Structure 1
């Protein structure tokens, strides 16, 4: 009788784990105590509520059903194609990003709060039965529909790079962050999302969004859409605005004093005044139709990146200090100039070819000397760098009709020739 009792007491229930990489990961963490036997003691599995098996080359999570008290499962960067978590009723956080999952069963995981399933092969994903869901990251899948209307606690939704034609977030009044870029959306209504702070919806077919009800929004990315106008007058806390590759003709940012990033290239902007945006660090306004650009915000020295090239009609860019060394790193067209005020702009931007002032500057490009033909004596010559800095002055005489430029650095310059009340401006290249 004692022998039979001992045999009974040593018999313990196990659950099969066919994937040796899965089992080895459990052994390495001291979870599986009976070694690499193709199974795990249920008593071992039932002690675990937090399981981290990331990047272990696991293809099969059969055996996960034994972890009946599991709350946190992290299994990203593996080779999973299917996953059934129907026996893990206490699960709250699931991270299975970067696998190859086509089939996912979370029908019984009613306590889930966070789901990370991005970069998989999912064609369907049902979350309508999850009332506690606060975060859903399902980007980079093959989803054609996504219903989050029942997820009233949802705060973060990332579903970019899917095949979504519609997305309804009107019931998600707790939503703070939405990334739905690179889908097929024609309409996006965020009028009910008063707590929204971040909206990224680039790469869709959108042409309008009302931000009037989102007074707390700080980050907006609507690039690569069909917008023709953008009203941000109610968004005084805006810090990052990316609206490149649209058809926006007007952009007013007077009410965004905290703006530090503005990317608005490849639009139809004609004029922009960002002189009130004192926190600017990054500015991209290339390939627009700009005629005027004012960035005299008293803190130009804090701008790390500036690009306004591709604006053929932009003669003057108003800046704090035209002699500042950092301007050499700002990218502008050769026809554009940094100026401090309207008077300087007028003197540079007018290219008046007077009737009696038809001169020729040669050679162009020049190296040591710049010669001037058809020039009266007592004419005044001013040479400016492309940054608007005066680098050389000279008054001509009958004996002197050339200028020594050998000490000037290579680059593009603007030569202004003035005589009586007439003037002409020409560009030269110095090698």
Structure 2
């Protein structure tokens, strides 16, 4: 009996178990349910999160298992039949997007809050039982939709090519509405006062839209619509407005102060006023007919897309948050991004009137496209911008310049001040002298730089964050005291300015003068040649004396001098000077006419003209070698007015290794209009020159000088140089003392006139050879050694010496002897220390002259 009862109970238990299995005829639907696990997001289980549905793992879905499910994601699962869904009575969210379902009955799923049934084959559906529905995504091939019972609906996405009307007047809770329905011709939103976001796409039949009642609206997003206007005057909370590919002819945003994003690309707008939208971050009005735009008040804007309009002027100098600018295919004449430090991308292509682009802003990581601008003349960039390839220009070659401004791009700090010489030994004050062309070195321990004070004694450094040491570098440092001797300036951030003056006082009594002869206009047979005698007091005492100048009177006719000589004889001129202050520089200009080949003596191309300048007093001068300067100038036929010359000539004696060489860089405006600035750049070869010895001697116009790494820049920042007007720079630099006989050094410069391509000068090469003077019309030569000498010197020639004549720097003959030998030993022990000249005459009739220094 007990066995029979047990058998009956087992039978009923088995039958009950079979009855609790949910009937799911669609294999793909069932497989999807069985696939659910904690590692995917197919099913969310009440109180357990994402997990398995078949938690007894019998390969079936029991009713009690279905009732535990509150969310199902069945998207993209090739399901055609959702029979069995009725068992999921506690389902709150169902996603069955893009399947093959044609019939869907959710009448038992009354707990549904969110439903996504897009892209199936459902043509009819009854929503009336889903009274708790809040989020709905629905579309084709549905031909009608009744949402009158879905009073809790907050979010509706409708994409249908069949539905021609939509009544949402009962859905007053609606907050988000997105419609893609080309047949809908009217849309009444008056009841939807809680609407926050409205999206309208492809409403090709909707001629107008009224959103005046939707005062809570924050997002209006439309595309491919045909209405020509939209009234936003009541939408004070609007944050985003988009009308893409529309028919708008006008747009009034003056009441929308909270707007952050506006996109109205591909419309018919002729103007837009964004002055009342201070929070605006993005503006896209690509492909309209806008002629002007004022964004000066939109300080938060970071992206401007203005391609394909009629804009002729754009000022973004106030938009410092801007990181993207697109202004291709407009009528712009210039684009200036120098104040836009955050700019990351810019497209400035296809502006036929574009002449000037400035992207010098301190940001070298930007990507800038500047294509197809046929009239573009200049692109101003940061000095190291080209190295990253971020600037794309074409197809024509356009000058790239960093000199549109002479301050760095972006943010920086400024250190500036004056160099003052305490001439009356009572402390530096406004009555004292400025110190021009004083070198100052700066370093933060990693990077270093050099600048020079200008003619007013003023200097400026531009720096980043860090701690900077500044040290004045005087040519004769032991002769002066500098206060402070060095200074350390810390910067923890940017946009700071520090003023630091330096006061220089004499230390002891030291006399030191220097002089140099600078050719200004080249010597050509039959033409005028001009020269400038530059002399300077490098000592610490006020000096008076004379400047003596000798030249070959037989081949040069004096035309003029800027100062009347105090003494003048054929081939000699002397000027007295008085009260030459320490660091003071003065000049004397001299113009000669060079004999032509038809005159006697004739001057031909490649002849050498000899000039000597001496500044006195030599006695007591602590560095007498630079009191005398000899210029051996080669006569030329034609010349480039923009050149560089080593004033010691192309060959110098080995004794000059490790000593100063003097260079003159000439520049001339060969254009038809005055310049606005001129820059001369010279890259120093650090393997042959000692950059620490670099000194500026003279410039024709006021300039600033800076050195970065091995690049020297002479900046004439405001130089208005008229057509055919000239200028020049004279500097000196020591060669390394490690060079050897036979080695050569060279200098070459680039000259920038405004924004034009730089003019490259010649390569001024100088070699160190055993000292000899060769007349270019003969093979005779001789050498003097040792030179300098205290007592005796040897003169050795390659042809028989007839006579030797000794002259002082005034050109006065001191002695003359007959030799008739190849070698002669000359005693000079009875002569005073100074500069002399030896003239050697050969039996062949040639006369050669060489400078001799008596120690």
Q: Same fold per TM (> 0.5)? A: yes
Displacement of 1:208: 1.2
Aligned with 2:357 (options 317, 331, 339): 317
Matches within 5 A, 1:292-311: 292-299=334-341, 302-311=342-351
Aligned with 1:33 (options 62, 79, 91): 62
- On the 8 A contact 1:16/1:38 being kept in 2, the answer is no
CA distance in 2, matches of 1:107, 1:75: 19
1:115 corresponding residue in structure 2: 156
Higher helix share: 1
1:195–1:38 Cα change, 3 Å: closer
Aligned with 2:319 (options 266, 277, 295): 277
1:176–1:319 Cα change, 3 Å: same
> Which 10-residue stretch deviates more, 113-122 or 15-24?
15-24
2:724 corresponding residue in structure 1: 420
1:19–1:191 Cα change, 3 Å: farther
CA distance in 2, matches of 1:52, 1:232: 42
CA distance in 1, matches of 2:361, 2:241: 35
- On the 8 A contact 1:298/1:320 being kept in 2, the answer is no
Structure number with the bigger relative contact order (C-alpha 8 A, sep ≥ 6) is 1
Count of residue pairs the alignment pairs up: 362
1:131–1:27 Cα change, 3 Å: farther
CA distance in 2, matches of 1:182, 1:124: 18
Displacement of 1:82: 3.4
Displacement of 1:260: 1.0
Displacement of 1:45: 3.5
1:371 corresponding residue in structure 2: none
- On the 8 A contact 1:228/1:247 being kept in 2, the answer is yes
- On the 8 A contact 2:270/2:289 being kept in 1, the answer is yes
CA distance in 2, matches of 1:251, 1:141: 34
Q: Per-residue CA shift, 1:24-56, capped at 9, x if unaligned?
A: 6567654963699984385x343222223334x
Matched, 1:105 2:154: no
2:93 corresponding residue in structure 1: 50
- On the 8 A contact 2:324/2:344 being kept in 1, the answer is yes
Q: Per-residue CA shift, 1:128-179, capped at 9, x if unaligned?
A: 2201000111136543222212100000111122212111100000000011
1:368 corresponding residue in structure 2: none
Matched, 1:177 2:481: no
- On the 8 A contact 2:26/2:83 being kept in 1, the answer is no
1:328–1:156 Cα change, 3 Å: closer
Over aligned residues, Cα RMSD in angstroms? 4.2
1:287 corresponding residue in structure 2: 329
Q: Secondary structure at the match of 2:107?
A: helix
1:213–1:424 Cα change, 3 Å: closer
Q: Secondary structure at the match of 1:96?
A: strand
Stretches of structure 2 that go unaligned for 5 or more consecutive residues are: 1-8, 36-42, 44-52, 55-60, 67-78, 382-400, 406-637, 643-667, 671-677, 683-720, 727-752, 759-855
Matches within 5 A, 1:3-402: 29=43, 30=53, 33=62, 39-40=83-84, 44-55=87-98, 57-96=99-138, 99-118=140-159, 121-139=162-180, 141-163=182-204, 164-299=206-341, 302-321=342-361, 325-326=364-365, 329-332=368-371, 333=373, 335-336=375-376, 337-339=378-380, 344=404, 377-378=640-641, 380=668
Q: Per-residue CA shift, 1:322-357, capped at 9, x if unaligned?
A: 9x754674324353322389x949xxxxxxxxxxxx
CA distance in 1, matches of 2:25, 2:123: 15
CA distance in 1, matches of 2:200, 2:311: 31
Displacement of 1:76: 3.6
CA distance in 2, matches of 1:45, 1:121: 31
Q: Secondary structure at the match of 1:234?
A: coil
CA distance in 2, matches of 1:120, 1:14: 40
Displacement of 1:318: 3.0
- On the 8 A contact 1:191/1:213 being kept in 2, the answer is yes
CA distance in 1, matches of 2:128, 2:24: 17
1:23–1:87 Cα change, 3 Å: farther
- On the 8 A contact 1:20/1:38 being kept in 2, the answer is no
1:206–1:14 Cα change, 3 Å: farther
CA distance in 2, matches of 1:38, 1:309: 56
Q: Secondary structure at the match of 1:245?
A: coil
Q: Secondary structure at the match of 1:273?
A: coil
CA distance in 1, matches of 2:141, 2:130: 21
CA distance in 2, matches of 1:13, 1:132: 39
1:170–1:131 Cα change, 3 Å: same
Displacement of 1:222: 1.2
The structure with the largest alpha-carbon Rg is: 2
2:848 corresponding residue in structure 1: none
Displacement of 1:73: 1.3
CA distance in 1, matches of 2:233, 2:169: 22
Q: Per-residue CA shift, 1:223-262, capped at 9, x if unaligned?
A: 1111111111010000000001111111000111111111
Q: Per-residue CA shift, 1:88-110, capped at 9, x if unaligned?
A: 1221111236x543333323212
Higher strand share: 2
CA distance in 2, matches of 1:91, 1:287: 49
CA distance in 2, matches of 1:59, 1:425: 69
CA distance in 1, matches of 2:359, 2:249: 33
- On the 8 A contact 2:248/2:267 being kept in 1, the answer is yes
- On the 8 A contact 2:280/2:300 being kept in 1, the answer is yes
> Which 10-residue stretch deviates more, 244-253 or 44-53?
44-53
